[in-house]
């Protein structure tokens, strides 16, 4: 039970550091894998997807593992030392082994993953050499993905299904080197995403080694984007009473399709649910959620979660007074902070009435304050970070409008993941897509069917039957 004094004291504990008002962001809850400063943490398509995969497996499977950033230093030297000092092999035998290992694992000057157990050795691929902000960005995204993992020990016992002496020697050699232990922050992950992530990851890791290696990057990127945009869609404080029970359904098209203004992917897709308002107010909405979580003393969750937690305390006159004090204090201190900044060009809105008559009023009023008393620079900061990730694969700009899309590889992989390799009715496959919040209009369904026909993967029950079946095996 939260006391009336706790509301006020925890608010100031989070927003007042010492004597000065502290404009908190990510202080009590982590919602999305972005900081407010792109100069310290960033990510875009130049980084590639492999680095996030390697970091994800290091964080989730073996926090002591060390990435192979330098093949000579991080692979050849420890393997040579292991063979000479532990296995006591002759020098000629060691040289032969090293030559074979190099031929297999270091093709054309790049690390080749030959086995799923080696995924944890993939280094961060940084777009700009020695760029700390890209390194931090990739680690943060891997940390975000790791927060989806339930149970946390899911990957601990993941062993290759094709074990052999060659692989075992290398794994044992590299495991003795050790790396820096990664410390994880826990992000809020929507429950239905966390549940399906673990189930789908188990399914993928049970495929053949070559399939795991080929598609693990695709899998992680899909879930990264899926979680980010579903979370944004649910970050509307005006909908605090709405329970998070399933994905917000948005229309997609195929990358190969043309789009018009009337297509569902334009009208009822990204632009409807992750629109200009949602992106521009995202910083303030996260900040308001952060403050409420801080007041409640813990990592409670999204707006519906904090609303339900607040409801456990009767909305008495004392509670009303304390909440109004919080709102009045924030409005006063935030305006004073903005005024004190040098060269700040900020158009102050009129002060608003901070009287509230319910917890819902409090949530909405605080969100209004956080979004209106926000520097304009933050409107674009998070939008750019979102687009940097989404536009690697799942989002494109068509005639000035953002459209969700699937390329052939992502479409094929998702069909396989949904059907789990079993023969399935095409309509049931579309239902499976909708369970991930993905909808297709008539034109896109026709394009998918043409794609499946081209691959000879679509079959009819009979010549006259309407039912169509598909079997996708990775």
For 398, the 3-state DSSP assignment is strand
Q: Select the more confidently predicted residue: 313 or 185.
A: 313
Residue range 398-417, pLDDT digits in tens:
888 899 999 999 999 999 99
Question: Using an 8 Å Cβ cutoff, are 420 and 428 in contact?
Answer: no
- Predicted local confidence at residue 133, as pLDDT: 82
Question: Using an 8 Å Cβ cutoff, are 124 and 139 in contact?
Answer: yes
Q: Taking residues 267-287, report their average pLDDT.
A: 91
Percent share of the chain, pLDDT over 90: 55
| Angle, helix 282-295 to helix 303-311, in steps of 10 degrees | 30
Rg (CA), the chain: 26
For 383, the 3-state DSSP assignment is helix
Q: What is the DSSP string of 245-303?
A: -SPPPEE-EETTS---TTSHHHHSSHHHHS-HHHHHTHHHHHHHHHHHHHHTTS---SH
Rounded-to-integer distance, Cα 29 and Cα 235, Å: 14
For 469, the 3-state DSSP assignment is strand
Residue 35 has pLDDT above 50, yes or no: yes
3-state secondary structure 433-462: HHCCCEECCHHHHHHHHHHHHHCCCEEECC
Among candidates 3, 41, 119, 69, which has minimal Cα distance to 389? Answer: 41
- Predicted local confidence at residue 459, as pLDDT: 85
**Number of C-beta neighbours around residue 471 at 10 A:** 15
Residue 163 has pLDDT above 70, yes or no: no
- Predicted local confidence at residue 414, as pLDDT: 97
- Predicted local confidence at residue 189, as pLDDT: 96
Under DSSP, the state recorded for 117 is: G
Q: Taking residues 350-379, report their average pLDDT.
A: 92
438-439 vs 250-251, strand pairing mode: parallel
For 129, the 3-state DSSP assignment is coil
Instruction: Please list, in sequence order, all residues whose beta carbon lies within 8 angstroms of the beta carbon of residue 300, skipping any fewer than 6 positions away.
Output: 29, 292, 293, 306, 309
- Predicted local confidence at residue 456, as pLDDT: 92
Token duo for residue 409:
């590889």
Residue with tokens 């949530």: 363
**Stretch (H or E) spanning 396:** strand 395-398
- Predicted local confidence at residue 1, as pLDDT: 44
Residue with tokens 């009303």: 320
Among candidates 201, 112, 101, which has minimal Cα distance to 148? Answer: 201
């Amino acid at each position: 039970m939260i006391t009336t004094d706790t509301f006020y004291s925890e608010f100031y504990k989070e927003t007042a550091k010492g004597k000065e008002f502290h404009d908190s962001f990510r202080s009590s809850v982590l919602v999305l894998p972005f900081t407010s400063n792109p100069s310290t943490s960033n990510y875009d398509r130049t980084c590639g997807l492999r680095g996030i995969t390697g970091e994800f497996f290091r964080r989730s499977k073996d926090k002591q593992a060390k990435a192979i950033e330098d093949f000579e230093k991080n692979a050849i030297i420890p393997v040579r030392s292991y063979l000479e000092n532990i296995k006591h092999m002759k020098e000629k035998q060691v040289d032969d082994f090293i030559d074979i290992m190099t031929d297999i694992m270091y093709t054309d000057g790049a690390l080749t993953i030959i086995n799923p157990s080696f995924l944890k050795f993939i280094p961060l691929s940084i777009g700009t050499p020695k760029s700390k902000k890209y390194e931090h960005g990739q680690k943060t995204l891997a940390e975000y993905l790791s927060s989806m993992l339930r149970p946390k020990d899911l990957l601990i016992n993941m062993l290759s299904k094709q074990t052999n002496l060659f692989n075992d020697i290398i794994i044992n050699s590299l495991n003795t080197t050790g790396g820096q232990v990664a410390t994880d922050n826990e992000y809020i992950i929507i429950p239905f995403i966390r549940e399906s992530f673990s189930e789908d990851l188990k399914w993928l890791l049970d495929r053949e080694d070559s399939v795991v290696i080929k598609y693990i990057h695709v899998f992680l990127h899909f879930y990264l984007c899926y979680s980010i945009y579903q979370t944004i869609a649910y970050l509307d404080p005006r909908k605090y009473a709405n329970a998070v029970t399933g994905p917000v359904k948005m229309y997609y098209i195929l990358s190969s399709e043309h789009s018009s203004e009337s297509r569902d992917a334009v009208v009822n897709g990204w632009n409807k649910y992750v629109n200009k308002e949602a992106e521009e107010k995202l910083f303030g909405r996260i900040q308001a959620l952060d403050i409420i979580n801080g007041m409640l003393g813990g990592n409670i969750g999204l707006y519906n979660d904090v609303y339900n937690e607040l409801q456990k305390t009767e909305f008495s006159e004392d509670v009303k007074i304390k909440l109004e004090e919080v709102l009045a204090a924030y409005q006063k201190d935030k305006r004073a902070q903005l005024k004190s900044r040098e060269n700040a060009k900020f158009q102050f809105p009129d002060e608003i009435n901070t009287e509230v008559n319910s917890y819902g009023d409090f949530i909405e009023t605080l969100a209004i304050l956080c979004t209106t008393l926000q520097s304009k620079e933050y409107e674009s900061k998070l939008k750019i970070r979102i687009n940097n990730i989404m536009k690697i694969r799942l989002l494109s700009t068509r005639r000035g409008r953002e459209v969700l899309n699937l390329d052939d590889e992502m479409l094929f992989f998702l069909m396989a993941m949904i059907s789990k390799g079993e023969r399935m009715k095409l309509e049931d496959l579309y239902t499976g897509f909708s369970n991930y919040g993905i909808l297709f209009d008539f034109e896109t369904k026709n394009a998918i069917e043409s794609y499946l026909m081209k691959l000879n993967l679509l079959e009819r029950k009979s010549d006259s039957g309407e039912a169509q079946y598909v079997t996708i095996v990775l």
